[in-house]
Structure 1
């Protein structure tokens, strides 16, 4: 009887291990089937992000709550599957993008309790950029050099939408001139670009501090974007001898130690 129970437990364990191995191949593999699965997941992620951006405009719709819960179910399924696909779940749970995704899931499951933090859901776009699935199509087409520039653009967009959601949540009202989401976006763009037309201002000390932070961080992100676009492109290829990661695409020797490099040509 004991042997039969142990055999049954072993079969169940092996079935679960095979399931995890299957998920690992789908999420991290390079086969045609895995790439199709990753592309489908990417499309779902982009649709979820579009929903997060449009949330302030859809909140009054009767179907909004059902859409919100459906997105929560999708996000929960994706998080569970990605967790099972990793070989070290505790280590995976400590990663910042995973922590952010769990927080976003909480805002979806408790929309009333965490309504004022809903604008942080756009961080899902940032966590998506931490995964290689977003960049694989660029690298396959020899456009991997533009990854840094694309990352800088995405970082700026995430910041703009987070600030817009924050301003709309905490400052909307007739006294500020922010009567809708577009007004909050307009203020954010004018603050980030330091244009400051003065037609919309945030009242009080808290409003002034918010404007200062938006301007400082916004300028920093613009500078980072300009650097990524206009400075010479580098490839991420660690030197086998000294470990220097950034090199010119046509570099033959490491500029730090002189070691001979063999950088793959992404254009081929």
Structure 2
């Protein structure tokens, strides 16, 4: 009986893994619809993270919502890990560690309250995930939209992470920073180097934060601008050297000279 139960449990586990692999990695319409639902839920969760500074004032209601979100995120991460062929390889991915950290801030909201602003890294991890691009990005035959989306995601995530940091650590300490909108205003003004000067952070620590925001912000702006003006490229791996991106009308690989045969979907 023990052996039969063990075999039955193993069989059910294999069926569950096969089902999850189909849903998270399949190309069939049902699998795509499932992943679209996951992405919609993720966007709703990110919206919850954005509204956290306001929702915290709701008291216990906020903590109930916090644990509901933690349950959803935990189940999603567990399902993705089980559907992955090698869990150890899955754990080596930086995006996974970001999601696990976000989950930790949800499970321990009191102890990790000052790090809650890092939850918005979930936006970056979503827009850089294979799941997102297998589902949404499958409509595009080149990398231009993907590159612009990733660059924009990095910039927006940085803005809201810095805003959350400034709100968490300088509210009430810096003059005129009394709410989330004040922190957002300071972040955008500093990041764009507009520097109106009506809101500043106190002390040497405040100056260091301002310098970092300006330097990183300029870098992210430049990256976004480069992706917007960079010549159009398509993803087509060279069969010899493996170079991924080429001009749409390329005949030879720029790296090794191999003759290419890039499909023309517009023909």
Taking structure 1 as the reference length, the TM-score comes to 0.94
- Secondary structure at 2:136's aligned position in 1? helix
Q: Does 1:47 align with 2:44?
A: yes
Q: Map residues 231-242 of structure 1 onto 2, 5 A cutoff.
A: 231-242=230-241
* Aligned Cα root-mean-square deviation (Å): 1.6
- Secondary structure at 1:60's aligned position in 2? helix
> Of 25, 31, 35, which residue of structure 1 is paired with 2:32?
35
Contact 1:126 1:154 in 2 (8 A): yes
Q: Does 1:5 align with 2:38?
A: no
Runs of 5+ unmatched residues, structure 1: none
Contact 1:107 1:117 in 2 (8 A): yes
- Secondary structure at 1:259's aligned position in 2? coil
Q: Map residues 113-152 of structure 1 onto 2, 5 A cutoff.
A: 113-135=111-133, 136-140=135-139, 142=141, 144-152=143-151
Runs of 5+ unmatched residues, structure 2: none
Q: Map residues 150-161 of structure 1 onto 2, 5 A cutoff.
A: 150-161=149-160
* CA deviation after TM superposition for structure 1 residue 143, in Å: 6.5
* CA deviation after TM superposition for structure 1 residue 125, in Å: 0.9
Query: 1:112 & 1:10 partners in 2: Cα distance?
Result: 43
More off after superposition, 254-263 vs 145-154: 254-263
- Secondary structure at 2:249's aligned position in 1? coil
* CA deviation after TM superposition for structure 1 residue 80, in Å: 0.7
More off after superposition, 15-24 vs 231-240: 231-240
**Structure 1 residue runs of 4 or more that deviate by more than 4 Å after TM superposition:** 141-144
Taking structure 2 as the reference length, the TM-score comes to 0.94
Q: Map residues 165-176 of structure 1 onto 2, 5 A cutoff.
A: 165-173=164-172, 175-176=174-175
* CA deviation after TM superposition for structure 1 residue 261, in Å: 1.3
* CA deviation after TM superposition for structure 1 residue 267, in Å: 4.5
Contact 1:143 1:266 in 2 (8 A): no
Partner of 1:177: 176
Partner of 1:250: 249
